[in-house]
Amino acid sequence: MIVFSDRAYNAIIDETFRKHPLETGGILLGHVLDNGAWIVMEVTPPGPNSVHQNAFFEYDEKFVNYLANSIASKYEIPLSMLGLWHRHPGNYDKFSSVDNGTNLKFAKLSKVGAISGLVNVDPEFRFKMWHVTDPLHYEVINVEVGDDIIPSEYFALKHVKESVPQFPSEVVENNEKNYNYAYERNEFPEEEKVSEALSTEMTRIIARLDAIVENTRNTNAMLEVLVENASDKTSLIEKFVKKVQKNYNLSQKLLKKQIKNTEIK
């Protein structure tokens, strides 16, 4: 029997319909129990550089490997790579020769083999799972879904509040020194002091900048706002553009500080 967590099964359905009608797939992560049951805790997406066509699909292998390792290590009982799933067009629910090669590759990674699934939408969602062994052999396995079927210890995360590792004090001190040094290196030169009061027009400009920073993260748009509203776009604009490209968050704070202390002509 194969048991999917609610999270894992939902990920398969979501990926299927987000890529509909193209083929897609994912990697299955979980545990193999001593009694022969398979528990699928997580399902990874195929990756940003994966290939999706009507009758062909290819994983973004580098992304999948990285993400699988990242997710697996977050659990108190680390997850293992169990196998994979992918969608086939129409009602075609058999593995192709290419699929056979991929399934065999996964089966060779473990002495207990691997599991592989096929999804069809014709028009209803159908999901079927096989156990794959080396030499190549398929056996259909029943699928169950539900967190309540899975022992609670498999949901335990490695890093909860009470078990977060602490860095040695000297490491923390060095990090603080490095941060302070970097901050000092990014400070603007001293400028002429002016009144603390900001004009209504400049307040409007700052509001537009804030909106762009929050919603678009678009440096060019920020520059356009300054150019449109400042008659003298020399020292302040040049310094701001250089700094925002190096350190986005720091530049936003320093710009607001400078506007209070620098004459805008």
Confidence band of 223 (pLDDT split at 50, 70, 90)? low
Q: Quote the pLDDT of residue 221.
A: 55
CA distance 220 to 61: 34
CA proximity to 92, closest of 62, 61, 118, 111: 118
Each residue's pLDDT tens digit, 116-136 = 999 999 999 999 999 999 999
Confidence band of 225 (pLDDT split at 50, 70, 90)? low
Comparing 186 with 160, the larger pLDDT belongs to 160
- Is the CA virtual torsion 24, 128, 146, 65 positive or negative? negative
Q: Quote the pLDDT of residue 160.
A: 83
Give this prediction's pTM. 0.63
Contact in structure between 78 and 72 (CB atoms under 8 Å): yes
Each residue's pLDDT tens digit, 179-194 = 555 445 554 444 444 4
Both structure tokens of 199: 């004009």
Residues 114-146, buried b or exposed e (16+ Cβ, 10 A)?
Answer: bbbbbbbbeeeeebbbbbbbbeeeeeebebebe
Q: Quote the pLDDT of residue 259.
A: 62
Both structure tokens of 159: 């890093």
Q: What percent of the chain has pLDDT over 90?
A: 59
Find where tokens 């990874």 sit: 44
Q: Quote the pLDDT of residue 188.
A: 40
The answer to whether residue 265 scores a pLDDT higher than 80 is no
Averaged pLDDT, 47-76: 94
Each residue's pLDDT tens digit, 17-41 = 999 999 999 999 999 999 999 999 9
Q: Quote the pLDDT of residue 45.
A: 96
Q: Quote the pLDDT of residue 202.
A: 64
Average of per-residue pLDDT values in the chain: 80
Averaged pLDDT, 76-80: 97
Q: In the chain, what are the domains?
A: 2-163 (3.40.140.10), 188-261 (no CATH)
